């Protein structure tokens, strides 16, 4: 009997030069690059890779991840090929080699043996996304152009939060998302809120200087899962409210009538980052995966 291991891979990437996570023919994607590099290390055919990364949250073109999770099923004897001349265990050798051959816009945090029952996608309890915006109330920092969206005008955060409050709970987000084939746009949002990150004091000490401080506005949204374009469409709608172009009543009407009608396309991808995937305790992983898989056997969630 062949021994198969399930590896958990925690990684990060700058999505600027990727056509999203999912492998696509003739396009540069995160999954494609990572699988190709793993195949190279393990001397596998990259044209027909016998391996497949299963991801927690499938991100779209231009969307970033600071903490993405995926898993890989691999035969133990195949993993052994990663060792070569290294004096490391096979899993540590794969992590070491992968860090050295991946491009600069992908980073490996850790490769570990997955606990029994772990499924990167179906075991997840929740996904956390953050959308960052720079409005006219502060000076635009061009160094952040790949991870912060720029908005002309000053945003009314109170009005934006008042509208988005209605999204908390289980709703059909059909006005703000596109379902996968045979899928649904019903999702449970646990929390979402815009806040302004503190403006940096120019007299601050060197220890206080950070690119993440400077008057940016950020939306943090937590849900069990997200439908295609859901986060960025909610962002675009709330930005229109924040700029005074729409009101809360318009937003509520859209939420109560889940039909895509074109007035709220997705906001720029550059501002969106997948920040975290939360999982239950190890003993609950299999139960969680079985329950979610039975409820929603669909292609991977994305935004």
pLDDT the model gives residue 297 = 42
C-alpha span between 172 and 256 (Å, rounded): 8
Mean pLDDT split into 10-residue runs, the chain, 303 residues: 90 98 96 96 82 95 97 96 95 97 98 97 96 89 91 95 96 86 84 81 48 75 93 96 96 88 83 97 94 61 58
Q: Which of 28, 188, 4 is nearest to 102 (CA)?
A: 28
Tell me, rounded to whole angstroms, the distance of Cα 31 from its chain centroid: 13
Tell me, rounded to whole angstroms, the distance of Cα 245 from its chain centroid: 29
C-alpha span between 184 and 296 (Å, rounded): 9
Instruction: Give domain limits for the chain.
Output: 4-113, 126-278
Same fold for the domain at 4-113 and the one at 126-278? yes
**Known active-site residue 172:** no
pLDDT the model gives residue 182 = 65
List residues bridging with 283 in a β-sheet.
none
Q: Counting Cβ atoms within 10 Å, is residue 180 exposed (0-12), middle (13-18) or buried (19+)?
A: middle
pLDDT the model gives residue 210 = 52
Decide yes or no: CATH 1.20.120.330 for domain 4-113: no
C-alpha span between 182 and 166 (Å, rounded): 26
Q: Which of 295, 302, 115 is nearest to 226 (CA)?
A: 302
Which 3 state secondary structure label does DSSP give 21?
coil
pLDDT the model gives residue 207 = 55
Residue 235 neighbours by CB under 8 Å, 6+ apart = 131, 133, 219, 266, 267, 271, 272
Kindly name the residue from 60, 135, 172, 301 that is annotated as catalytic: 60
Q: 126-278 in CATH: which number?
A: 3.30.70.660
The two tokens of residue 177 are 């998302």
Which helix (H) or strand (E) segment is 79 a member of?
Answer: helix 76-79
Record the pTM: 0.90
pLDDT the model gives residue 1 = 63
pLDDT the model gives residue 26 = 94
């Amino acid at each position: 009997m062949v021994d198969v291991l399930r590896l958990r891979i925690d990684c990060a990437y700058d999505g600027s030069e990727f056509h999203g996570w999912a492998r696509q023919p003739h396009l540069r994607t995160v999954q494609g690059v990572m699988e190709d590099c793993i195949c190279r290390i393990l001397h596998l055919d990259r044209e027909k890779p016998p391996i497949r990364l299963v991801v927690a949250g499938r991100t779209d073109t231009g969307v970033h991840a600071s903490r993405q999770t995926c898993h890989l099923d691999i035969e133990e004897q195949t993993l052994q090929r990663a060792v070569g001349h290294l004096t490391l265990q096979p899993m540590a050798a794969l992590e070491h080699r992968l860090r050295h051959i991946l491009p600069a816009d992908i980073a490996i945090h850790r490769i570990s043996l997955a606990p029994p029952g772990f499924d990167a996608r179906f075991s997840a309890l929740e996904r956390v996304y953050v959308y960052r915006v720079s409005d006219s109330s502060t000076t635009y920092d061009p160094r952040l152009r790949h991870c912060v969206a720029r908005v002309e005008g000053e945003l009314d955060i109170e009005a934006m939060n008042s509208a988005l409050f209605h999204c908390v709970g289980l709703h059909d987000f059909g006005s703000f998302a596109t379902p996968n084939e045979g899928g649904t746009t019903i999702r449970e949002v646990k929390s979402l809120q815009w806040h302004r990150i503190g403006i940096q004091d120019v007299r601050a000490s060197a220890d206080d200087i950070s690119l993440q401080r400077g008057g940016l506005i950020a939306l943090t949204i937590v849900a069990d899962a997200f439908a295609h374009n859901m986060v960025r469409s909610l962002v675009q709608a709330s930005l229109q409210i924040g700029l005074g172009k729409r009101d809360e009543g318009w937003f509520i009407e859209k939420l109560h009538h889940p039909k895509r009608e074109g007035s709220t396309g997705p906001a720029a991808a550059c501002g969106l980052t997948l920040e975290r995937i939360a999982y239950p305790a190890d003993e609950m992983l299999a139960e969680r995966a079985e329950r979610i898989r039975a409820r929603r056997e669909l292609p991977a969630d994305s935004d």
